[in-house]
Chains A and B, each alone.
Chain A
């Protein structure tokens, strides 16, 4: 199955995406991740001002079937949270790269190894057979 992997994003191997916007980054989960999870019905995100650490869990998404940790693709300070997702999680499935965004973060250095779109698509194709 082919998943949407926009060319202007970078991706973690734990299926989060990162979009650079000036000095800040926006973070969410990928199309592959939302497919694998199924309909998300619950989400737990950090508050504005919290710090996230590369490779560590920063939140949780839950579907009917499973609970999954969200892993920080990089370290930084949370400057905005998509709180709309707390009452309506459907954008995570319907628009994972748009209205389904989760955090806006000011990076403080450390980052996980991030893949470009081509490498991530190949990575997903390899695990999804």
Chain B
């Protein structure tokens, strides 16, 4: 039985096409992926991302515990801010990528939907020696993302607190406010390459928030499904777990070395990651454009122009913003510089591709 978010009925009522994603029954699109994609790039779009996991970590040693679990420097995330981090295995393979929010008296860790059970168990296995309390708030809270250049202005119009938190919220900032008569945690975070917010609140009010946010600005907000979420993050070259990253891939290969703070003190995977950093990696994630006619898709094989196997595609699609097929994939380091060429095997035929700069779309975050 697939899991459903508190907005399942709302998605059906709005005519969404539902698909399976990471064990969840989720909307892939409402009006169409391309229309939803452009709405986020140009105005504002709303996503139900309640399927993601939300773990609360509190107690006197919450910070120390998280420092041990993730690769980023949790001590460098001030109260009211958030940061991107990785959970790694002792061998450096990536268990998950997470966002850590520093709230008053506790941290919230947002994890990928498909990894909730695995991450929860991983956290539980490592609490020994730490005075820390974990709570899985994934069920109790819903989570929405309002993204796009108009998100700030629209969300501010719904804010009832006199402190006007939303307009002054910095990039990656997080604050408690009141929207639609309810407390909500808002964070200036997202997964689209646009300015925008993620909103956390009691699941009971999911429909009130969903329909309330869609109605802002005279129905100026487009409901968006996972299809547009994927195409938006793809253009911004944000990693998707199970594609660009997984347990067989280390952060340096994935170009996520900036998330690994080897000098912050000990953490799980540090020793292996230090060694990998010293020896260097043999393959690397690249972004590429198609030179020949064809569209690369996740899982397609990559070979050298001379025919030897070289790697694989992690994500690929026709980019709605750039109007041409692009892809990401792993190739040997000697093929990873801009301008390098290789072939992607599209339906048994080699199609030429060329390495281009990432991200494909330069994010327009408000800093």
Known: A35-B17, A39-B33, A42-B318. A65 touches B347 (CB 8 A): no
Number of A-B contacts (CB under 8 A): 40
**Does A111 count as interface, using CB distance less than 8 angstroms?**
no
- Residue in A35, A60, A65 with the greatest tally of chain B CB atoms within 10 Å: A65
Which residues of chain B are within 8 angstroms of A42 by Cβ–Cβ distance? 295, 318, 325
Which residues of chain B are within 8 angstroms of A1 by Cβ–Cβ distance? 15
Q: How far is the CA of A65 from the CA of B227 in the complex (A)?
A: 7
With both beta carbons as reference points, the residue of chain A lying nearest to B226 in the complex is identified as: A65
**Does B170 count as interface, using CB distance less than 8 angstroms?**
no
Which residues of chain A are within 8 angstroms of B17 by Cβ–Cβ distance? 35-36, 38
**Does B231 count as interface, using CB distance less than 8 angstroms?**
yes
How many residues of chain A get a CB closer than 8 Å to chain B's CBs?
15
Q: B105: shortest Cβ distance to chain A, in Å?
A: 42
Known: A41-B318, A60-B347, A62-B318. A67 touches B33 (CB 8 A): no
Question: What 1/0 mask marks residues of chain B from 281 to 316 whose CB sits below 8 Å from any chain A CB?
Answer: 000000000000101010000000000000000000
Q: Is the CB of B33 within 8 A of A65?
A: yes
With both beta carbons as reference points, the residue of chain A lying nearest to B33 in the complex is identified as: A64
**Does A51 count as interface, using CB distance less than 8 angstroms?**
no
Q: Is the CB of A64 within 8 A of B317?
A: yes
**Does A83 count as interface, using CB distance less than 8 angstroms?**
no
Q: How far is the CA of A63 from the CA of B319 in the complex (A)?
A: 10
With both beta carbons as reference points, the residue of chain B lying nearest to A41 in the complex is identified as: B318
Which residues of chain B are within 8 angstroms of A39 by Cβ–Cβ distance? 32-35
Tell me the chain B residues, 312-334 only, with Cβ under 8 Å from chain A: 317-318, 320, 325
Q: How far is the CA of A65 from the CA of B34 in the complex (A)?
A: 10
CB contact between A64 and one of B15, B231, B293, B347 (< 8 Å): that residue: B231
Q: How far is the CA of A11 from the CA of B94 in the complex (A)?
A: 47
Tell me the chain A residues, 15-61 only, with Cβ under 8 Å from chain B: 35-36, 38-39, 41-42, 44, 60
Q: How far is the CA of A38 from the CA of B293 in the complex (A)?
A: 21
With both beta carbons as reference points, the residue of chain B lying nearest to A65 in the complex is identified as: B227
Q: How far is the CA of A65 from the CA of B318 in the complex (A)?
A: 9
With both beta carbons as reference points, the residue of chain B lying nearest to A63 in the complex is identified as: B33
Which residues of chain B are within 8 angstroms of A63 by Cβ–Cβ distance? 33
Q: How far is the CA of A60 from the CA of B318 in the complex (A)?
A: 14
With both beta carbons as reference points, the residue of chain B lying nearest to A67 in the complex is identified as: B297
Q: How far is the CA of A60 from the CA of B346 in the complex (A)?
A: 11
Tell me the chain B residues, 7-60 only, with Cβ under 8 Å from chain A: 15, 17, 28-29, 32-35, 37
Q: How far is the CA of A63 from the CA of B17 in the complex (A)?
A: 15
With both beta carbons as reference points, the residue of chain B lying nearest to A57 in the complex is identified as: B347
Q: Is the CB of A64 within 8 A of B320?
A: yes
Interface residues of chain B, those whose CB is within 8 Å of chain A, are 15, 17, 28-29, 32-35, 37, 227, 230-231, 293, 295, 297, 317-318, 320, 325, 347
Interface residues of chain A, those whose CB is within 8 Å of chain B, are 1, 35-36, 38-39, 41-42, 44, 60, 62-67
New A-B pairs, 16, CB < 8 Å, besides A39-B33, A65-B28, A65-B230:
A1-B15, A38-B17, A38-B29, A38-B227, A39-B34, A41-B34, A41-B318, A42-B325, A62-B295, A62-B318, A64-B33, A64-B317, A65-B33, A65-B317, A66-B297, A67-B295
**Complex A-B: 27 CB contacts under 8 Å:** A1-B15, A38-B17, A38-B28, A38-B29, A38-B227, A39-B32, A39-B33, A39-B35, A41-B34, A41-B318, A42-B295, A42-B318, A42-B325, A44-B293, A64-B33, A64-B34, A64-B37, A64-B227, A64-B317, A64-B318, A64-B320, A65-B28, A65-B33, A65-B227, A65-B230, A65-B317, A67-B295
